[in-house]
Chain A
Amino acid sequence: MKSAVIVFPGSNREPDAARAIRLAGGDDPVMVWHTETELPAVDLVMVPGGFAHGDYLRAGAIAARSPIMRAVADHAGRGGYVLGVCNGFQVLTEARLLPGALMRNAGLTFVCRPVRLKVEQTTAFTTQYQRGTVVTYPTAHHDGNYRADDETIARLEGEGRVVLRYVDNPNGSANDIAGILNDGGNVLGMMPHPENAVEPLLGSTDGLPLFQSIVTSAEAGEATPPRRPLLDRLINRNVPPGA
Protein backbone atom coordinates (compact mmCIF):
# COMPACT_ATOMS: atom_id res chain seq x y z
CA MET A 1 0.00 0.00 0.00
CA LYS A 2 1.25 3.44 -0.92
CA SER A 3 0.57 6.31 1.43
CA ALA A 4 1.29 9.94 2.17
CA VAL A 5 1.44 11.63 5.56
CA ILE A 6 0.63 15.34 5.56
CA VAL A 7 2.90 17.54 7.69
CA PHE A 8 1.87 20.98 8.94
CA PRO A 9 3.93 23.35 11.09
CA GLY A 10 3.12 21.98 14.55
CA SER A 11 2.31 18.39 13.52
CA ASN A 12 4.04 16.01 15.90
CA ARG A 13 2.71 12.49 15.34
CA GLU A 14 3.84 12.11 11.75
CA PRO A 15 6.77 9.78 12.60
CA ASP A 16 4.38 7.62 14.66
CA ALA A 17 1.91 7.54 11.76
CA ALA A 18 4.66 6.52 9.36
CA ARG A 19 5.92 3.82 11.72
CA ALA A 20 2.44 2.36 12.18
CA ILE A 21 1.89 2.21 8.41
CA ARG A 22 5.24 0.42 7.94
CA LEU A 23 4.54 -2.03 10.78
CA ALA A 24 1.20 -2.88 9.17
CA GLY A 25 2.94 -3.81 5.93
CA GLY A 26 2.54 -0.57 3.99
CA ASP A 27 5.34 0.95 1.91
CA ASP A 28 7.39 3.77 3.40
CA PRO A 29 4.97 6.74 3.42
CA VAL A 30 5.84 9.92 1.56
CA MET A 31 5.89 12.90 3.93
CA VAL A 32 4.11 15.81 2.22
CA TRP A 33 4.57 19.40 3.42
CA HIS A 34 1.41 21.50 3.74
CA THR A 35 2.43 24.02 1.07
CA GLU A 36 2.49 21.34 -1.64
CA THR A 37 -0.39 21.41 -4.11
CA GLU A 38 -0.19 17.84 -5.38
CA LEU A 39 -0.09 14.40 -3.82
CA PRO A 40 1.90 11.46 -5.13
CA ALA A 41 -0.22 8.52 -6.36
CA VAL A 42 -1.23 6.88 -3.08
CA ASP A 43 -3.95 4.66 -1.62
CA LEU A 44 -4.02 6.38 1.78
CA VAL A 45 -3.52 9.93 2.94
CA MET A 46 -2.98 10.24 6.65
CA VAL A 47 -3.50 13.54 8.46
CA PRO A 48 -1.57 13.08 11.70
CA GLY A 49 -1.93 14.46 15.20
CA GLY A 50 -0.23 17.48 16.68
CA PHE A 51 -1.02 21.15 17.04
CA ALA A 52 -0.96 22.42 13.47
CA HIS A 53 -0.43 26.19 13.38
CA GLY A 54 -0.53 26.15 17.19
CA ASP A 55 -4.27 25.41 17.07
CA TYR A 56 -4.70 29.18 16.66
CA LEU A 57 -8.20 30.42 15.81
CA ARG A 58 -9.65 26.90 16.18
CA ALA A 59 -7.95 23.50 16.27
CA GLY A 60 -7.30 22.48 12.67
CA ALA A 61 -8.84 25.63 11.17
CA ILE A 62 -5.76 27.10 9.52
CA ALA A 63 -4.36 23.72 8.51
CA ALA A 64 -7.66 22.86 6.81
CA ARG A 65 -7.13 25.83 4.45
CA SER A 66 -3.57 24.77 3.48
CA PRO A 67 -2.76 24.37 -0.22
CA ILE A 68 -2.33 20.58 0.14
CA MET A 69 -5.86 20.14 1.50
CA ARG A 70 -7.38 20.76 -1.92
CA ALA A 71 -5.40 17.77 -3.18
CA VAL A 72 -6.52 15.74 -0.15
CA ALA A 73 -10.17 16.63 -0.92
CA ASP A 74 -9.65 15.56 -4.56
CA HIS A 75 -8.11 12.27 -3.38
CA ALA A 76 -11.11 11.71 -1.10
CA GLY A 77 -13.47 12.64 -3.94
CA ARG A 78 -11.92 9.92 -6.08
CA GLY A 79 -12.64 7.37 -3.34
CA GLY A 80 -9.09 7.32 -1.97
CA TYR A 81 -8.66 6.52 1.71
CA VAL A 82 -8.08 9.34 4.17
CA LEU A 83 -7.39 8.80 7.86
CA GLY A 84 -7.32 11.75 10.26
CA VAL A 85 -6.24 11.17 13.84
CA CYS A 86 -6.65 13.68 16.68
CA ASN A 87 -5.57 17.03 15.20
CA GLY A 88 -6.01 15.29 11.84
CA PHE A 89 -9.67 14.62 12.68
CA GLN A 90 -10.06 18.30 13.62
CA VAL A 91 -8.48 19.27 10.29
CA LEU A 92 -10.87 16.99 8.35
CA THR A 93 -13.96 18.45 10.05
CA GLU A 94 -12.68 22.00 9.47
CA ALA A 95 -12.08 21.06 5.82
CA ARG A 96 -15.67 19.75 5.72
CA LEU A 97 -14.49 16.33 4.61
CA LEU A 98 -16.28 15.07 7.72
CA PRO A 99 -19.39 16.55 9.34
CA GLY A 100 -19.58 18.20 12.76
CA ALA A 101 -16.95 19.91 14.87
CA LEU A 102 -14.59 19.12 17.74
CA MET A 103 -15.09 21.43 20.68
CA ARG A 104 -13.29 21.96 23.99
CA ASN A 105 -13.47 18.85 26.22
CA ALA A 106 -16.52 19.00 28.48
CA GLY A 107 -14.30 18.71 31.58
CA LEU A 108 -12.03 21.49 30.21
CA THR A 109 -8.91 19.44 30.97
CA PHE A 110 -6.45 18.01 28.48
CA VAL A 111 -7.22 14.28 28.36
CA CYS A 112 -4.05 12.20 28.09
CA ARG A 113 -4.63 8.54 28.93
CA PRO A 114 -5.53 5.22 27.33
CA VAL A 115 -9.24 4.90 26.56
CA ARG A 116 -11.39 1.92 25.71
CA LEU A 117 -13.30 2.05 22.44
CA LYS A 118 -15.88 -0.20 20.89
CA VAL A 119 -15.41 -1.01 17.21
CA GLU A 120 -19.01 -0.47 16.09
CA GLN A 121 -18.80 -1.15 12.36
CA THR A 122 -16.98 -3.28 9.84
CA THR A 123 -15.56 -0.81 7.33
CA ALA A 124 -12.56 -0.65 5.00
CA PHE A 125 -10.67 0.66 8.05
CA THR A 126 -11.77 -2.06 10.46
CA THR A 127 -11.92 -5.36 8.53
CA GLN A 128 -9.30 -6.87 10.83
CA TYR A 129 -11.44 -6.36 13.94
CA GLN A 130 -14.43 -8.38 15.01
CA ARG A 131 -17.39 -6.00 15.12
CA GLY A 132 -18.13 -5.15 18.77
CA THR A 133 -14.54 -5.66 19.90
CA VAL A 134 -13.35 -3.30 22.63
CA VAL A 135 -9.86 -1.91 21.99
CA THR A 136 -7.57 0.41 23.95
CA TYR A 137 -5.89 3.35 22.23
CA PRO A 138 -4.14 6.31 23.89
CA THR A 139 -5.76 9.75 23.75
CA ALA A 140 -4.07 13.15 24.00
CA HIS A 141 -6.34 16.08 23.27
CA HIS A 142 -7.97 19.22 24.61
CA ASP A 143 -10.60 19.62 21.89
CA GLY A 144 -12.13 16.20 21.33
CA ASN A 145 -15.74 16.88 22.21
CA TYR A 146 -17.56 15.81 19.04
CA ARG A 147 -20.58 17.95 18.25
CA ALA A 148 -23.01 18.08 15.36
CA ASP A 149 -26.65 19.03 15.00
CA ASP A 150 -29.23 16.41 15.93
CA GLU A 151 -30.03 15.64 12.31
CA THR A 152 -26.37 14.96 11.50
CA ILE A 153 -25.93 12.74 14.56
CA ALA A 154 -29.07 10.81 13.62
CA ARG A 155 -27.81 10.38 10.07
CA LEU A 156 -24.37 9.18 11.24
CA GLU A 157 -26.01 6.65 13.54
CA GLY A 158 -28.62 5.58 10.98
CA GLU A 159 -26.06 5.06 8.25
CA GLY A 160 -23.66 3.11 10.45
CA ARG A 161 -20.99 5.79 10.23
CA VAL A 162 -20.09 5.86 13.92
CA VAL A 163 -17.13 3.50 13.66
CA LEU A 164 -15.61 3.93 17.12
CA ARG A 165 -17.42 4.74 20.34
CA TYR A 166 -15.97 5.50 23.78
CA VAL A 167 -16.78 2.98 26.49
CA ASP A 168 -16.15 5.69 29.12
CA ASN A 169 -16.60 9.04 27.39
CA PRO A 170 -13.55 11.19 28.32
CA ASN A 171 -14.54 14.46 26.64
CA GLY A 172 -18.33 14.84 26.47
CA SER A 173 -18.68 13.84 22.80
CA ALA A 174 -22.26 13.47 21.59
CA ASN A 175 -23.38 9.81 21.69
CA ASP A 176 -19.88 8.86 22.96
CA ILE A 177 -18.62 9.26 19.39
CA ALA A 178 -14.88 8.74 19.02
CA GLY A 179 -14.58 8.14 15.28
CA ILE A 180 -16.76 8.72 12.23
CA LEU A 181 -16.81 7.91 8.54
CA ASN A 182 -17.81 10.17 5.63
CA ASP A 183 -20.81 9.23 3.51
CA GLY A 184 -18.55 7.57 0.95
CA GLY A 185 -17.01 5.27 3.56
CA ASN A 186 -13.44 6.23 2.55
CA VAL A 187 -12.64 9.03 5.02
CA LEU A 188 -12.27 8.19 8.72
CA GLY A 189 -11.57 10.63 11.53
CA MET A 190 -10.98 9.75 15.19
CA MET A 191 -9.63 11.43 18.29
CA PRO A 192 -7.74 8.48 19.89
CA HIS A 193 -4.35 7.40 18.55
CA PRO A 194 -4.25 3.93 16.96
CA GLU A 195 -0.74 4.72 15.67
CA ASN A 196 0.46 4.81 19.28
CA ALA A 197 -0.82 1.31 20.00
CA VAL A 198 1.06 -0.76 17.45
CA GLU A 199 3.77 -2.64 19.34
CA PRO A 200 4.11 -4.27 22.79
CA LEU A 201 6.66 -1.69 23.95
CA LEU A 202 3.92 0.96 23.67
CA GLY A 203 1.65 -0.98 26.01
CA SER A 204 -0.93 -1.98 23.40
CA THR A 205 -1.03 -3.43 19.92
CA ASP A 206 -4.75 -2.79 19.53
CA GLY A 207 -4.20 -0.11 16.89
CA LEU A 208 -2.22 -2.28 14.48
CA PRO A 209 -5.28 -4.07 12.97
CA LEU A 210 -6.68 -0.69 11.92
CA PHE A 211 -3.63 -0.03 9.75
CA GLN A 212 -3.60 -3.66 8.58
CA SER A 213 -7.26 -3.23 7.59
CA ILE A 214 -6.40 -0.24 5.40
CA VAL A 215 -3.47 -2.11 3.82
CA THR A 216 -5.73 -5.09 3.11
CA SER A 217 -8.54 -2.93 1.71
CA ALA A 218 -6.14 -0.92 -0.45
CA GLU A 219 -4.44 -4.03 -1.80
CA ALA A 220 -7.80 -5.65 -2.51
CA GLY A 221 -8.36 -2.66 -4.79
CA GLU A 222 -11.34 -1.39 -2.92
CA ALA A 223 -10.70 2.13 -4.11
CA THR A 224 -14.40 2.72 -3.94
CA PRO A 225 -15.94 1.98 -0.58
CA PRO A 226 -17.74 -1.32 -0.04
CA ARG A 227 -20.83 0.10 1.55
CA ARG A 228 -23.19 2.76 0.24
CA PRO A 229 -26.01 2.76 2.76
CA LEU A 230 -28.20 5.46 1.20
CA LEU A 231 -28.06 3.94 -2.25
CA ASP A 232 -28.66 0.46 -0.85
CA ARG A 233 -31.69 1.70 1.01
CA LEU A 234 -33.10 3.37 -2.09
CA ILE A 235 -32.53 0.25 -4.16
CA ASN A 236 -34.11 -2.01 -1.56
CA ARG A 237 -37.14 0.22 -1.33
CA ASN A 238 -37.74 -0.20 -5.03
CA VAL A 239 -37.49 -3.98 -4.96
CA PRO A 240 -40.98 -5.50 -5.06
CA PRO A 241 -41.62 -8.09 -2.33
CA GLY A 242 -40.68 -11.58 -3.37
CA ALA A 243 -38.60 -10.37 -6.30
Chain B
Amino acid sequence: MKTYLELFLAFLKIGAFTFGGGYAMIPLIEKEVVVHKKWVHKDDIINLFAIAQSIPGAIAINTSTLIGYKVAGRRGAIAATSGVILPSFLIIIVVATFFGKIARTPTVEAIFLGINGAVVALILVAAKRMVQSAVVDGLTLMIFMGTVFSVIFTTISPVWVIILGGLIGFVSYQQIRERKNTP
Protein backbone atom coordinates (compact mmCIF):
# COMPACT_ATOMS: atom_id res chain seq x y z
CA MET B 1 0.00 0.00 0.00
CA LYS B 2 2.84 2.34 0.96
CA THR B 3 4.49 1.87 -2.44
CA TYR B 4 1.28 2.73 -4.30
CA LEU B 5 0.92 5.91 -2.27
CA GLU B 6 4.59 6.81 -2.84
CA LEU B 7 4.18 6.25 -6.58
CA PHE B 8 1.03 8.33 -6.65
CA LEU B 9 2.64 11.21 -4.75
CA ALA B 10 5.89 11.14 -6.74
CA PHE B 11 3.99 11.37 -10.01
CA LEU B 12 1.62 13.98 -8.60
CA LYS B 13 4.69 16.14 -7.99
CA ILE B 14 6.05 15.42 -11.46
CA GLY B 15 2.69 16.21 -13.10
CA ALA B 16 2.32 19.47 -11.23
CA PHE B 17 5.69 20.85 -12.36
CA THR B 18 5.96 19.67 -15.94
CA PHE B 19 5.75 22.66 -18.21
CA GLY B 20 5.83 21.96 -21.94
CA GLY B 21 4.89 18.32 -22.43
CA GLY B 22 6.50 14.90 -22.20
CA TYR B 23 10.14 15.83 -22.79
CA ALA B 24 10.03 18.45 -20.03
CA MET B 25 9.01 15.65 -17.68
CA ILE B 26 12.19 13.64 -18.22
CA PRO B 27 14.46 15.66 -15.89
CA LEU B 28 11.83 15.49 -13.12
CA ILE B 29 11.38 11.74 -13.56
CA GLU B 30 15.14 11.21 -13.39
CA LYS B 31 15.39 13.15 -10.14
CA GLU B 32 12.42 11.49 -8.42
CA VAL B 33 12.53 7.97 -9.80
CA VAL B 34 16.25 7.39 -10.36
CA VAL B 35 18.03 9.63 -7.82
CA HIS B 36 15.58 9.96 -4.91
CA LYS B 37 13.54 6.77 -4.83
CA LYS B 38 16.05 4.57 -6.72
CA TRP B 39 13.14 2.71 -8.29
CA VAL B 40 14.85 2.39 -11.65
CA HIS B 41 18.60 2.25 -12.40
CA LYS B 42 19.99 5.15 -14.40
CA ASP B 43 21.02 2.86 -17.25
CA ASP B 44 17.54 1.29 -17.46
CA ILE B 45 15.45 4.46 -17.45
CA ILE B 46 16.37 5.24 -21.05
CA ASN B 47 14.89 1.87 -22.12
CA LEU B 48 11.60 2.89 -20.50
CA PHE B 49 11.72 6.26 -22.29
CA ALA B 50 12.32 4.31 -25.50
CA ILE B 51 9.22 2.17 -25.05
CA ALA B 52 7.16 5.20 -23.98
CA GLN B 53 7.97 6.88 -27.28
CA SER B 54 7.44 3.82 -29.43
CA ILE B 55 3.85 3.13 -28.41
CA PRO B 56 0.83 5.36 -29.09
CA GLY B 57 -0.41 7.91 -26.59
CA ALA B 58 1.05 10.83 -24.65
CA ILE B 59 4.70 10.22 -23.76
CA ALA B 60 4.10 11.54 -20.25
CA ILE B 61 1.31 9.04 -19.58
CA ASN B 62 3.18 6.15 -21.18
CA THR B 63 6.30 6.86 -19.13
CA SER B 64 4.38 7.11 -15.85
CA THR B 65 2.45 3.92 -16.54
CA LEU B 66 5.61 1.99 -17.42
CA ILE B 67 7.53 3.12 -14.35
CA GLY B 68 4.51 2.44 -12.13
CA TYR B 69 4.27 -1.05 -13.58
CA LYS B 70 7.98 -1.74 -13.16
CA VAL B 71 7.89 -0.63 -9.50
CA ALA B 72 4.63 -2.21 -8.34
CA GLY B 73 2.81 -4.06 -11.10
CA ARG B 74 -0.64 -3.24 -12.44
CA ARG B 75 -1.82 -1.28 -9.45
CA GLY B 76 1.46 0.62 -9.46
CA ALA B 77 0.80 1.59 -13.07
CA ILE B 78 -2.64 2.87 -12.17
CA ALA B 79 -1.28 4.78 -9.14
CA ALA B 80 1.45 6.51 -11.14
CA THR B 81 -0.84 7.36 -14.05
CA SER B 82 -3.54 8.81 -11.78
CA GLY B 83 -0.89 10.84 -10.01
CA VAL B 84 0.50 12.37 -13.18
CA ILE B 85 -2.96 13.19 -14.55
CA LEU B 86 -4.58 14.64 -11.42
CA PRO B 87 -2.79 18.03 -11.21
CA SER B 88 -3.53 18.79 -14.89
CA PHE B 89 -7.11 17.76 -14.47
CA LEU B 90 -7.71 19.94 -11.41
CA ILE B 91 -5.81 22.94 -12.74
CA ILE B 92 -7.63 22.87 -16.08
CA ILE B 93 -11.03 22.61 -14.39
CA VAL B 94 -10.19 25.61 -12.20
CA VAL B 95 -8.94 27.58 -15.20
CA ALA B 96 -11.95 26.63 -17.33
CA THR B 97 -14.41 27.45 -14.54
CA PHE B 98 -13.04 30.75 -13.33
CA PHE B 99 -11.08 32.25 -16.18
CA GLY B 100 -12.26 30.69 -19.42
CA LYS B 101 -8.94 31.76 -20.78
CA ILE B 102 -5.56 32.75 -19.40
CA ALA B 103 -4.73 36.12 -20.79
CA ARG B 104 -1.20 36.50 -22.07
CA THR B 105 -0.63 39.41 -19.73
CA PRO B 106 2.88 40.90 -19.39
CA THR B 107 3.14 39.27 -15.95
CA VAL B 108 2.37 35.79 -17.29
CA GLU B 109 4.75 36.37 -20.21
CA ALA B 110 7.53 37.42 -17.82
CA ILE B 111 7.09 34.33 -15.62
CA PHE B 112 7.32 32.11 -18.68
CA LEU B 113 10.46 33.87 -19.93
CA GLY B 114 12.05 32.41 -16.79
CA ILE B 115 10.38 28.99 -16.76
CA ASN B 116 11.15 28.37 -20.45
CA GLY B 117 14.85 28.99 -19.86
CA ALA B 118 14.88 26.47 -17.01
CA VAL B 119 12.94 23.85 -19.00
CA VAL B 120 15.34 24.01 -21.95
CA ALA B 121 18.38 23.79 -19.67
CA LEU B 122 16.94 20.83 -17.74
CA ILE B 123 16.12 18.91 -20.93
CA LEU B 124 19.68 19.56 -22.17
CA VAL B 125 21.10 18.12 -18.94
CA ALA B 126 18.82 15.07 -19.30
CA ALA B 127 20.01 14.66 -22.91
CA LYS B 128 23.65 14.78 -21.73
CA ARG B 129 22.98 11.96 -19.26
CA MET B 130 21.21 9.90 -21.91
CA VAL B 131 24.15 10.37 -24.29
CA GLN B 132 26.59 9.23 -21.61
CA SER B 133 24.52 6.10 -21.06
CA ALA B 134 23.62 5.29 -24.68
CA VAL B 135 26.52 6.43 -26.86
CA VAL B 136 29.13 3.78 -26.16
CA ASP B 137 30.96 3.43 -29.50
CA GLY B 138 31.22 4.82 -33.02
CA LEU B 139 28.04 3.22 -34.29
CA THR B 140 25.87 4.50 -31.44
CA LEU B 141 27.41 7.95 -31.94
CA MET B 142 26.38 7.81 -35.61
CA ILE B 143 22.85 6.69 -34.68
CA PHE B 144 22.65 9.57 -32.19
CA MET B 145 23.78 12.16 -34.74
CA GLY B 146 21.57 10.71 -37.46
CA THR B 147 18.54 10.97 -35.15
CA VAL B 148 19.25 14.62 -34.28
CA PHE B 149 19.69 15.38 -38.00
CA SER B 150 16.48 13.59 -39.01
CA VAL B 151 14.38 15.37 -36.38
CA ILE B 152 15.70 18.82 -37.20
CA PHE B 153 15.93 18.63 -40.99
CA THR B 154 13.24 16.13 -42.02
CA THR B 155 9.62 15.39 -41.14
CA ILE B 156 10.21 11.65 -40.65
CA SER B 157 8.21 10.43 -37.65
CA PRO B 158 10.40 9.55 -34.63
CA VAL B 159 8.63 6.18 -34.55
CA TRP B 160 10.38 5.16 -37.79
CA VAL B 161 13.73 6.37 -36.47
CA ILE B 162 13.23 4.25 -33.33
CA ILE B 163 12.35 1.18 -35.42
CA LEU B 164 15.39 1.76 -37.65
CA GLY B 165 17.63 2.15 -34.60
CA GLY B 166 16.31 -1.14 -33.22
CA LEU B 167 16.98 -2.89 -36.54
CA ILE B 168 20.52 -1.50 -36.76
CA GLY B 169 21.13 -2.61 -33.18
CA PHE B 170 19.78 -6.08 -33.86
CA VAL B 171 21.90 -6.58 -36.98
CA SER B 172 25.18 -5.05 -35.89
CA TYR B 173 25.53 -5.78 -32.16
CA GLN B 174 26.42 -9.39 -32.80
CA GLN B 175 28.91 -8.56 -35.54
CA ILE B 176 30.69 -6.09 -33.28
CA ARG B 177 30.86 -8.61 -30.45
CA GLU B 178 32.10 -11.34 -32.77
CA ARG B 179 34.75 -9.06 -34.20
CA LYS B 180 35.94 -8.21 -30.70
CA ASN B 181 36.10 -11.86 -29.78
CA THR B 182 38.21 -12.94 -32.78
CA PRO B 183 41.91 -12.18 -32.24
Do A and B form a real pair? no
What is B's interface to A at a CB cutoff of 8 Å?
none
What is the interface of chain A, defined by CB distance below 8 A to chain B?
A: none
